[in-house]
Chain A
Amino acid sequence: MGELIEIRWHGRGGQGVVTAGEILAEAAMEEGKYFQAFPDYGPERMGAPIRAYTRISDSPIEIHSQITSPDIVIVVDPTLIGLVNVAEGIKEGGVILLNTPASPQEMRQKLGLAGKGVKVFTIDASEIAMKHLGRNIPNTPMLGALIKATNLVSLESVIRLTEERLGAKLREEAVKANIAALKEAYEKVQEG
């Protein structure tokens, strides 16, 4: 991957997609990098398909367009697969990370990525979220899986920033449960 890493997130309103993108950007900031995190705002409402974008670079980022050929695609909501072309424009050598119980091999076939130089990772983040949080808010496990899959930023800084960010809104047990979900996804993400 080049110096500028471009990431596209697919999810639905209410899943914490924008927050996850911002936590990733803040982790990059702590490591002295430049970043952008911005959502693709439509009429926002709970459950509507949304896209969000993150850019990370070692040098200042000047471009202010949306991301059309991402290095990394993260699909936070599995019900979007088949509904939205989540693999659209992904770069050769890129990474796609999906929240799904399916195997990476199955998803590679399903997304038409067979034989293409794209790394496919899967993690059942919804199941992990249900187990730890009792609710299907898979953004924190997806962050954990992303760190393992891409090594973009350190796990420690993402954990600390997640604690800070969620700590401002949630009770301590809920923050702890999010961190447990993040760590479990970090361990369990599969590549194929």
Chain B
Amino acid sequence: MAKQIVKALDGAAAVAEAMRQIDPDVVAAYPITPQTAIVQTFSQFVADGLVGTEFIPVESEHAAMSACVGAAAAGGRVMTATAANGLALMWEVVYIAASMRLPIVMSVVNRALSAPLNIHCDHSDSMGARDSGWIQIFSENPQEAYDNTIQAIRIAEHPDVLLPVMSMQDGFITGHGVERVEVLEDQAVKDFIGEYTPKYSLLDIDNPKTFGAWAFYDYYFEFKRQQTEALSKVPKVVEEVGQEYGKLTGRYYGLFDPFEMDDAEIAIVVLSSAAGTARTVVRKLRKEGVKIGLLKPRLYRPFPGKEIVELLKDVKVVGVMDRSIAFGSIEGCGPLYLDICASFFTYGNGKAPKVVDYIFGLGGRDILPEQIEGMVRELIHIAETGEVKQVVGYLGLR
């Protein structure tokens, strides 16, 4: 295992530290709370000459992603960061980055979308981009935010993939929360990510290629089919990179992180920092004899539905916790619930546990262990009676 240094870093500083070690060719970004700490810290690294990065301070997030697309098409290793309304403003170009197969890595510090104006955490920003063709990875704490930023480079640039990656963490909760983070030495990160040699480059004037081509009903469809094909290659690459990273650091990563799932009759499924809180509840209830487990998805896009069904197929009840609402979806549920249900319909061989959804934490509303315990009591009742009173519940709603 490689030598590591223990530091006290908040999630934003941990990502900035990873970016310093990655030393990308180009970073184009616009500040927005709670992501600002990343761009501010990284631009200081640029000013201090600690990286060779060309930093492009742009006039908006739309321009940020546009500059990233240009730089990545030119063959650069390109990174950016945003949150909430910044991601929303990028919208048009977010889709372009994915469909041009540009391996850009973007850190998203999850924050609620307006209105009302709110700077705190929920997942409505990145969930809105779940159909954009980007790979999406969620982190529980600053350590995972650091680790996932480094792995994202390898995943994005893998020749079977060549897709952009969004690496998420929870705004303020981990983004501004200082925790213990083990950091690799610079050279170990450089060796792990390697040199990036683009397959095609705008600047390769001896081999001119067309980027951002025109395609109507003749070839547009085939482009889209190829994007889906590329996404289908992602889970294997994510697992391989996660194993290799584990050998280096002792921290192994897969598609998801199961806890106490072996004989579980009740399962909680939740992303990011709330998974840590839920794990403390599972530990407590296990001591009381409740057969409960936790599944924390890490890779959210592409959604590893088949593997998740394999893990959840023997439980009686699944309680999904969603930190956003997929407005207008059945019963006003969240996106994670939709994915879990669709996975069972597709891969469950006609069998599925009861699956219910709990919306929580919108706009930064705190989620407490007692609230999760209350949810589990309802799940136990469903397991015992088979009766679902409501498909979608709310935790911590006034």
Known pairs A38-B172, A41-B172; A64 contacts B177 (CB<8 A) = yes
Is the pair B176, A22 in contact by a Cβ cutoff of 8 Å?
no
Among B7, B177, B274, the residue within 8 A (CB) of A38 is B177
Cα separation A39 to B6 with both chains bound (whole Å): 22
Distance in angstroms from A161 CB to nearest chain B CB is 10
Within 8 A of B (CB), among A31-62: 34-39, 41, 61-62
Known pairs A22-B178, A37-B178, A38-B178; A62 contacts B276 (CB<8 A) = yes
Among B172, B179, B274, B366, the residue within 8 A (CB) of A36 is B179
Known pairs A29-B180, A64-B177, A66-B366; A41 contacts B119 (CB<8 A) = yes
**Which residues of A lie under 8 Å from residue B369 when comparing CB positions?**
63, 65
**Which residues of A lie under 8 Å from residue B368 when comparing CB positions?**
65-66, 68
Within 8 A of B (CB), among A7-29: 22, 25-26, 29
**Which residues of B lie under 8 Å from residue A29 when comparing CB positions?**
6-8, 180
**Which residues of A lie under 8 Å from residue B366 when comparing CB positions?**
65-66
**Which residues of A lie under 8 Å from residue B170 when comparing CB positions?**
64
**Which residues of B lie under 8 Å from residue A68 when comparing CB positions?**
368
**Which residues of B lie under 8 Å from residue A38 when comparing CB positions?**
10, 172-173, 176-178
Distance in angstroms from A38 CB to nearest chain B CB is 4
Distance in angstroms from B367 CB to nearest chain A CB is 6
Majority-rule SS of B interface residues: mixed
Distance in angstroms from B302 CB to nearest chain A CB is 26
Among B141, B177, B279, the residue within 8 A (CB) of A37 is B177
**Which residues of A lie under 8 Å from residue B6 when comparing CB positions?**
29
B280 interface contact, C-beta 8 A: yes
Cα separation A26 to B173 with both chains bound (whole Å): 18
B273 interface contact, C-beta 8 A: yes
Distance in angstroms from B265 CB to nearest chain A CB is 22
B346 interface contact, C-beta 8 A: no
Among A22, A41, A62, A66, the residue within 8 A (CB) of B279 is A62
Distance in angstroms from A129 CB to nearest chain B CB is 24
Which B residue's beta carbon lies closest to that of A26?
B8
Is the pair A22, B276 in contact by a Cβ cutoff of 8 Å?
no
Digitize B255-293: 1 where CB-to-A-CB distance is under 8 Å, 0 elsewhere: 000000000000000000110110110000000000000
Distance in angstroms from B334 CB to nearest chain A CB is 19
B174 interface contact, C-beta 8 A: yes
Is the pair A61, B179 in contact by a Cβ cutoff of 8 Å?
yes
Cα separation A39 to B119 with both chains bound (whole Å): 14
Cα separation A108 to B176 with both chains bound (whole Å): 34
**Which residues of B lie under 8 Å from residue A37 when comparing CB positions?**
8, 177-179
**Which residues of A lie under 8 Å from residue B7 when comparing CB positions?**
29
Is the pair A64, B274 in contact by a Cβ cutoff of 8 Å?
yes
Cα separation A72 to B368 with both chains bound (whole Å): 19
Within 8 A of B (CB), among A132-181: none
Cα separation A55 to B108 with both chains bound (whole Å): 25
Among A22, A35, A62, A63, the residue within 8 A (CB) of B180 is A35
Is the pair B179, A39 in contact by a Cβ cutoff of 8 Å?
no
**Which residues of B lie under 8 Å from residue A64 when comparing CB positions?**
140-141, 170, 173-174, 177, 273-274, 276-277
Cα separation A37 to B279 with both chains bound (whole Å): 20
Among A34, A36, A41, A62, the residue within 8 A (CB) of B280 is A62
Among B8, B172, B280, the residue within 8 A (CB) of A35 is B8
Cα separation A38 to B121 with both chains bound (whole Å): 14
Distance in angstroms from B41 CB to nearest chain A CB is 14
Cα separation A62 to B274 with both chains bound (whole Å): 9
Is the pair A63, B276 in contact by a Cβ cutoff of 8 Å?
yes
**Which residues of A lie under 8 Å from residue B279 when comparing CB positions?**
62
Is the pair A39, B277 in contact by a Cβ cutoff of 8 Å?
no
Distance in angstroms from A187 CB to nearest chain B CB is 28
Cα separation A35 to B178 with both chains bound (whole Å): 8
**Which residues of B lie under 8 Å from residue A35 when comparing CB positions?**
8, 178-180
Which A residue's beta carbon lies closest to that of B372?
A65
**Which residues of A lie under 8 Å from residue B177 when comparing CB positions?**
36-38, 64
Cα separation A36 to B6 with both chains bound (whole Å): 14
Known pairs A61-B179, A62-B276, A62-B279; A25 contacts B8 (CB<8 A) = yes
Known pairs A22-B178, A29-B8; A63 contacts B277 (CB<8 A) = yes
Residues on A facing B (Cβ under 8 Å): 22, 25-26, 29, 34-39, 41, 61-66, 68
> Can you list 23 A-B pairs with a CB-CB distance of less than 8 A?
A22-B8, A26-B8, A29-B6, A29-B8, A29-B180, A34-B179, A34-B180, A35-B178, A35-B180, A37-B8, A37-B177, A38-B10, A38-B173, A38-B177, A41-B120, A62-B276, A63-B276, A64-B140, A64-B276, A64-B277, A65-B277, A65-B366, A65-B367
Per CB-CB distance, the 7 closest pairs between chain A and chain B, nearest first, are A62-B276, A38-B177, A64-B273, A37-B178, A26-B8, A63-B280, A66-B366
